[in-house]
Amino acid sequence: MDRDPHAPQGPLRLAIVGGGWAGLAAAVEAVDAGHAVTLIELSAQWGGRARGVEIEGLALDNGQHILIGAYRHTLALMARVGADPDALARRPLELLYPDGRGLRMPAAPAWLGFGLAVLRCRGWTLAERVALLRAATGWALAGFACDPAWTVARLCHALPPPVRELLIDPLCVAALNTPAAEASASVLLRVLRDALFGGAGAADLLLPRRSLAALLPEPAACWLQKAGARLQTGRRVQALAREGAGWRVDGEAFDAVVLACSAAESARLVEPLTPTWAAQAQALRYEPIVTVYMRCPGARLPSPMTALLQGPRAPAQFAFDHGALGGAAGVFAFVVSGARPWVEAGLAATGAAVLEQAATSFAPGTWPQPPTVLRVLAEKRATFRCTPGLDRPAATIAPGLVAAGDYIAGPYPATLEGAVRSGEQAVAALRSTLTHAIHDALTDERTAPPAARR
């Protein structure tokens, strides 16, 4: 390939603001590309919205996470920084309820496995199973694309109620953290496409066996340190200013900057420079997720991840058995996605409702003694609300200034994979924003009237 004569050559002095999964991915990518990286994180630890938390001496997380086999960039990044591959338990996709109803994918190519799982699904009539297979075939034939204005409820309105209640609604809220009545059908179809047609293992569930910190943040920080990156925690970047062809971050000079902090913080930092981009980032709306950690020594759930029936007094969609995953025995995480009404009801009320749901959802004898609430954790801005036609901010903000994060325009909902991809893409995009800036400056210089050139 010909070398662009206008491209800035050699390593860049690069500041990356934010040490969540997007910022860590950007830092690793940039160090590998030979840049001199300074990574700055507001809090005392790495990982952002996917970080480890210690609760009563147990290594848990700020919220239970799941990954799927289609998260190829995330898995490749974990391998690149030397994360323990055993930190994730890989299992065929299953969405089973405590009474055994639901889907379990057999070992087969994902699209075939899905077909077989639907045909064998317990708890649905033949007509309901055929209706789902017909709908899924229609989605595949249409290239997993639909009218961008459709919600998931609109896409699935013709499906029988049990299929919507037991499969579509929990799948939608797990993948998009937005209820089906408000969630973007195009984004859900894209996730389904990547899971069902993304090659071997793409639909597999990957359940963390250890704290999220061990999955990426800690090994990535170690890798970056050894590779010579400057790492700073406990520092909130206050100001960003343009200077010549480069940037100043709180007064310090850099050639380029990746903003991998939250949309709100990125908007604050760029507002004086690019108000249009800032307004778009500020316009995003959010959905909370609540994780209720429970303890019950000696208890075992029927499966490491069990789907739960929701109701007015039953908030959680999924229960995770940490002991069955190789973590702390007798510790369970109950996840409430799309948790707006429950956050409004308060953490104590949510904890009590989940406790009651846990007691009544499983077969008698599951709990040898009444479970107790260990901690209720609410992330009020867990993910952006993934609605149809959402106009997400672009990665490129200005020459030498790009943004990364799960909210940046892209095909994915707010996920670890979306964050990692955006971090990697931000570094790739930087070089071309600088190339164009220098090219434009040279063109202006050549075309300006002679008096203006002085």
Ligand X SMILES: Cc1cc2nc3c(=O)[nH]c(=O)nc-3n(C[C@H](O)[C@H](O)[C@H](O)COP(=O)(O)OP(=O)(O)OC[C@H]3O[C@@H](n4cnc5c(N)ncnc54)[C@H](O)[C@@H]3O)c2cc1C
Amino acid identity at 96: L
> Judged by CB under 6 A, which of 260, 299, 308, 336 binds ligand X?
260
Residue 188 engages ligand X in binding (rule: CB under 6 A)? no
Q: Site residues for ligand X, window 350-409 (CB under 6 A)?
A: 379, 382-383, 405-406
> At how many degrees (to 10) do helices 217-226 and 21-32 cross?
30
Q: Tell me, by CB under 6 A, how many residues bind ligand X.
A: 34
Least distance from C-beta 233 to ligand X, angstroms?
Answer: 9
Residue 22 engages ligand X in binding (rule: CB under 6 A)? yes
Residue 95 engages ligand X in binding (rule: CB under 6 A)? no
Least distance from C-beta 7 to ligand X, angstroms?
Answer: 28
| Nearest CA among 25, 173, 199, 54 for reference residue 113 | 199
Residue 63 engages ligand X in binding (rule: CB under 6 A)? yes
| Nearest CA among 100, 66, 64 for reference residue 362 | 100
Q: What span, in angstroms and rounded, lies between the C-alpha atoms of 296 and 332? A: 8
Residue 66 engages ligand X in binding (rule: CB under 6 A)? yes
Nearer to ligand X, 23 or 219 (CB): 23
**Contact string 199-238 vs ligand X (x = CB under 6 A):** -------------------------------------xx-
The two tokens of residue 375 are: 């901690």
What is the SS3 assignment for 377? Answer: strand
Least distance from C-beta 113 to ligand X, angstroms?
Answer: 21
The two tokens of residue 169 are: 């609604």
Amino acid identity at 40: I
Nearer to ligand X, 44 or 451 (CB): 44
Q: What span, in angstroms and rounded, lies between the C-alpha atoms of 78 and 216? A: 6
A 10 A CB-CB count for 347 gives 16
Residue 19 engages ligand X in binding (rule: CB under 6 A)? yes
Q: Site residues for ligand X, window 103-132 (CB under 6 A)?
A: none
The two tokens of residue 287 are: 């959905």
> Judged by CB under 6 A, which of 180, 185, 261, 402 binds ligand X?
261
Least distance from C-beta 51 to ligand X, angstroms?
Answer: 8
Segment interacting with ligand X (CB under 6 A) among 7-15, 17-25, 164-172, 273-281: 17-25
Residue 194 engages ligand X in binding (rule: CB under 6 A)? no
Residue 146 engages ligand X in binding (rule: CB under 6 A)? no
What does the DSSP assignment read for 141-165?
A: HTTT---TT-BHHHHTTTS-HHHII
> Judged by CB under 6 A, which of 17, 88, 152, 159 binds ligand X?
17
Nearer to ligand X, 41 or 255 (CB): 41
The CA-based angle 408-411-416, given to 5 degrees, is 65
Least distance from C-beta 403 to ligand X, angstroms?
Answer: 10
Q: What span, in angstroms and rounded, lies between the C-alpha atoms of 220 and 59? A: 18
Q: What span, in angstroms and rounded, lies between the C-alpha atoms of 244 and 351? A: 54
Query: Which residues, listed in sequence order, are joined to residue 384 by a DSSP beta bridge?
Result: 286
| Contact indicator for 28, 80 with CB cutoff of 8 Å | yes
Pairing of strands 36-40, 286-295: unpaired
Least distance from C-beta 310 to ligand X, angstroms?
Answer: 17
Q: What span, in angstroms and rounded, lies between the C-alpha atoms of 316 and 291? A: 9
| Contact indicator for 207, 66 with CB cutoff of 8 Å | yes
Residue 164 engages ligand X in binding (rule: CB under 6 A)? no
Residue 262 engages ligand X in binding (rule: CB under 6 A)? yes
> Judged by CB under 6 A, which of 12, 14, 15, 21 binds ligand X?
21
| Contact indicator for 74, 416 with CB cutoff of 8 Å | yes
The two tokens of residue 158 are: 């013709």
Segment interacting with ligand X (CB under 6 A) among 12-20, 180-188, 320-328, 343-351: 12-20
* Residue that the structure tokens 């799948």 belong to: 171
**Contact string 24-43 vs ligand X (x = CB under 6 A):** ----------------xxxx
* Residue that the structure tokens 């994915």 belong to: 412
Pairing of strands 230-232, 205-208: unpaired
Least distance from C-beta 415 to ligand X, angstroms?
Answer: 3
Residue 426 engages ligand X in binding (rule: CB under 6 A)? no
Footprint of ligand X (CB under 6 A): 17-23, 40-43, 48-50, 63, 65-66, 236-237, 260-262, 265, 289, 291, 379, 382-383, 405-406, 414-416, 419
